[in-house]
Amino acid sequence: MPLIRVSMFPGRTDEQKKALIEELTDAFLRTAGGNRDGVWVMLEEVPREHWGVGGTSSSAPRPSGS
């Protein structure tokens, strides 16, 4: 049973999340094969203040031009 985990910032609609789950499942089956019912997708919404890149919180303002 493959599990595809996606961590992302909140803000997508239910329709976008549903489409993402369908597309990820389809992409997995196209490239790796398997049984559609065996592909699990988990979407995890992480608040910006709980996410950092390069030592900087993602909730911090970005310099212009970034």
Residues 6+ apart with CB under 8 A from 44: 5, 6, 7, 8
Q: Is 61 designated active site?
A: no
Domain locations in the chain as residue ranges = 3-48
* pTM confidence score: 0.83
12-34 mean pLDDT: 98
Assess contact for 52 and 46: CB atoms under 8 A: no
Catalytic choice (2, 10, 61, 63)? 2
User: Is the four-CA dihedral 53, 54, 58, 62 of positive or negative sign?
Assistant: negative
Fold category of 3-48 in CATH: Macrophage Migration Inhibitory Factor (3.30.429)
pLDDT at position 60: 80
Mean pLDDT (the chain, rounded)? 93
**Structure letter (DSSP) for residue 31:** H
**Distance separating alpha carbons of residues 66 and 43, to the nearest angstrom:** 26
